Chain A
Amino acid sequence: MKMLRGFMLTCLGFTLTQCVSLRSISVTQIPKERSKIVTAEVKKFVFLAFNFDNDYVDAVTEELRSQCQGGTVTGILTKHSRTEYFIAHHEIVSAQGYCVR
């Protein structure tokens, strides 16, 4: 009975703590021509608090640039959010912009 109660509480903990919080947001100059949208997202799973670097963010710009070769990506909306789980969390950095040629 005690074990079942512990299991139920753990399950409840898992379901109640998957909350998303928006940490920061920024936007750059929005262009006139907005026909081609480019998006990129990077995420890192962090168990407890074991995160020793934030280099994963670097991949965002590379991904955006690869989708707009020879052009300019502008009007970039950058979002940094966090999804909390029971004893871990996901750090998510996403960016959306317009490719102008």
Chain B
Amino acid sequence: MHFSLKRAFFKQLAVKISQVGVFSLLSSCAILHHAQVSDIDDDKKFKRIAFDVKVNESGFSLDEALRLSKGFTSSKQARDDLEQVRLILALSNMGPQTGNPTFNDTYADQILSAILKECPSGNVTEVKSIREMRKYPVISGEIVKITGYCLVPN
């Protein structure tokens, strides 16, 4: 009896570990939210110098954390409570959004100064603005990436 209980426990543990493993494997990916291209100037009078500016902030998915906790909880009451919290969160966070919520909403404000640092004249072309997310279990990297060329006279 004791042996079979131990076996059942280890079997359950193995299932949980493999679930987390598959979940982690599937969710460490780059998700594209927005792509934008600016005007392209191919004037041969200018030399093109490439620049690359990236800012990021950590995102946190409370919904995913609650879902994971629910999976690890054996008590039905606790699972129901977690589901209630998830419902409240879902209802209070409705509306369009890209990626996970961050604790700082000004992380992208420094982009303009970073571009001007790379290209002091401000004469830029072929600017690609990418908003993407690096997704991991529960947390994420919320990224804004700007690449382009600085035009300097030949």
Is there contact, CB below 8 Å, between B44 and A70? Answer: yes
The size of the chain A interface, using a CB distance under 8 A, is 32
Is there contact, CB below 8 Å, between A61 and B40? Answer: yes
Known: A72-B42, A78-B37. A57 touches B29 (CB 8 A): no
Known: A52-B29, A61-B128. A24 touches B43 (CB 8 A): no
Tell me the complex Cα distance, A95–B130, Å.
14
Tell me the complex Cα distance, A32–B58, Å.
44
Main secondary structure, interface of A, reads: mixed
B33 within 8 A of A: yes
A51 within 8 A of B: yes
A23 within 8 A of B: yes
User: Shortest beta-carbon distance, A33 to chain B, in Å?
Assistant: 14
Is there contact, CB below 8 Å, between A71 and B32? Answer: no
Is there contact, CB below 8 Å, between B40 and A93? Answer: no
B41 within 8 A of A: yes
Tell me the complex Cα distance, A56–B39, Å.
19
List B residues 84-108 near A (Cβ within 8 Å).
Answer: none
A 36-78 binary contact with B (CB < 8 Å = 1; else 0): 0000000000001111111001101100110011111110101
List B residues 48-93 near A (Cβ within 8 Å).
Answer: none
With a cutoff of 8 Å between Cβ atoms, the chain A residues found around residue B31 in the complex are 49, 51
Is there contact, CB below 8 Å, between A51 and B29? Answer: yes
Tell me the complex Cα distance, A97–B41, Å.
12
Known: A52-B30, A61-B128. A78 touches B35 (CB 8 A): yes
Tell me the complex Cα distance, A28–B40, Å.
10
B132 within 8 A of A: yes
A29 within 8 A of B: yes
B121 within 8 A of A: no
Is there contact, CB below 8 Å, between A24 and B40? Answer: no
Is there contact, CB below 8 Å, between A51 and B39? Answer: no
A35 within 8 A of B: no
10 shortest interchain CB distances as A-B pairs = A73-B40, A24-B34, A26-B36, A74-B39, A54-B32, A80-B35, A78-B37, A61-B126, A51-B29, A93-B35
